[in-house]
């Protein structure tokens, strides 16, 4: 059977435990598999060499810019974007194969089946949690920001029914580590975009996020894991704000020090 005229682009960093399963899920189906590695220090690249058609190395500084560059390396117009801890189900491959050459849409959103450990989180807004992952690269662009970039689409967006499986968090330790990284980037984004964040606004967002996720989106149906997901959403807001405040103070201190040095030089 001919391969689908589709480039799969996978972003990696220290994903030796996940990359093989990810690439095996699309090997022999997609016309091209590209791995863009963010300076991994483990065996990610060696594992990827067994399955990928092309491996590129580039440090990720700004997520949106990095993703746009990665997709531009694809030889096909249609791109499927995956993270290394994700895999494509047989059902999704069949669905994409049936529509790709016939559609007038510029892109498609795909449901994500998210796991914490072996538990599939079905509520709290975690499923289907569809994201735009299949697109024509000429009609799709990410915002040039460091975290949670928004997308710009030139055309209409369709919606697929089958899932990408996302084994993103082996345990709560990894969940917290990810939250710590993401809140640092969130605070940096607020600083670089001159967003004004106050304690009152953050308090409201923190409380709102918990009740919206745990009650409004039925997170309680996932039991204790649902509670922790809602709690971490609240913690995300608080930690982002704490880091934002710290960065503001450090920036003010650096500016004051600079003014003092200039004054001494006169």
pLDDT at residue 212, rounded to an integer: 96
| DSSP states along 38-76 | ---SSSHHHHHTTT-SEEEE---SSHHHHHHHHHHT-SS
Predicted TM-score (pTM) of the model is: 0.87
The domain made up of 4-169 has a fold known as Spore Coat Polysaccharide Biosynthesis Protein SpsA; Chain A (3.90.550)
State the pLDDT confidence band at 109, using cuts at 50, 70 and 90: very high
Q: How far apart are CA 101 and CA 106, in angstroms?
A: 12
Q: Do 29 and 4 meet the contact criterion of CB atoms below 8 Å apart?
A: yes
State the pLDDT confidence band at 2, using cuts at 50, 70 and 90: confident
pLDDT one-digit tens code per residue, 200-219:
999 999 999 999 999 999 99
pLDDT one-digit tens code per residue, 227-261:
999 999 999 999 999 999 999 999 887 776 666 66
Which residue shows structure tokens 């369709």? Answer: 158
pLDDT at residue 253, rounded to an integer: 76
With 70 as the cut, is the pLDDT of residue 104 above it? yes
With 70 as the cut, is the pLDDT of residue 262 above it? no
Which residue shows structure tokens 């491959």? Answer: 93
pLDDT one-digit tens code per residue, 9-62:
999 999 999 999 999 999 999 999 999 999 999 999 999 999 999 999 999 988
pLDDT at residue 260, rounded to an integer: 63
pLDDT one-digit tens code per residue, 154-202:
999 999 999 999 998 999 999 999 999 999 999 998 998 898 999 999 9
Write down the domain spans for the chain: 4-169, 172-264
Q: HSE (CB half, 13 Å, CA atoms) of 10?
A: 35
- Spell out the residues 6+ positions from residue 133 whose beta carbon is closer than 8 angstroms to its own: 80, 81, 82, 108, 109, 110, 164
Q: Do 80 and 93 meet the contact criterion of CB atoms below 8 Å apart?
A: no
């Amino acid at each position: 059977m001919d391969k689908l005229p589709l480039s799969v682009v996978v972003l990696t960093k220290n994903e030796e435990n996940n990359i093989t399963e990810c690439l095996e899920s699309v090997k022999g189906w997609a016309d091209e598999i590209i791995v863009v590695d963010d300076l991994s220090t483990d065996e990610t690249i060696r594992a990827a060499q067994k399955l990928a058609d092309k491996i590129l190395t580039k440090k990720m500084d700004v997520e949106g810019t990095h993703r746009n560059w990665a997709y531009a390396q694809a030889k096909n117009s249609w791109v499927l974007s995956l993270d290394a801890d994700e895999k494509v189900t047989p059902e999704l491959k069949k669905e994409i194969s049936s529509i790709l050459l016939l559609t007038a849409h510029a892109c498609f959103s795909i449901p994500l089946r998210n796991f914490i450990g072996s538990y599939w989180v079905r509520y709290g807004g975690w499923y289907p949690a569809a994201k735009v992952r299949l697109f024509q690269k000429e009609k799709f662009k990410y915002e040039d920001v460091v975290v949670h970039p928004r997308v710009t689409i030139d055309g209409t967006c369709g919606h697929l029914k089958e899932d990408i499986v996302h084994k993103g968090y082996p345990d709560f330790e990894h969940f917290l580590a990810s939250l710590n990284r993401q809140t640092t980037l969130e605070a940096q984004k607020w600083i670089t975009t001159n967003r004004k964040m106050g304690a009152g606004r953050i308090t409201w967002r923190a409380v709102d996020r918990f009740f919206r996720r745990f009650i409004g989106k039925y997170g309680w149906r996932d039991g204790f894991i649902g509670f922790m997901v809602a709690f971490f959403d609240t913690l995300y807001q608080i930690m982002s704000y704490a880091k934002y405040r710290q960065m503001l103070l450090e920036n003010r201190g650096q500016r004051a020090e600079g003014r003092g040095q200039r004054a001494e030089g006169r």
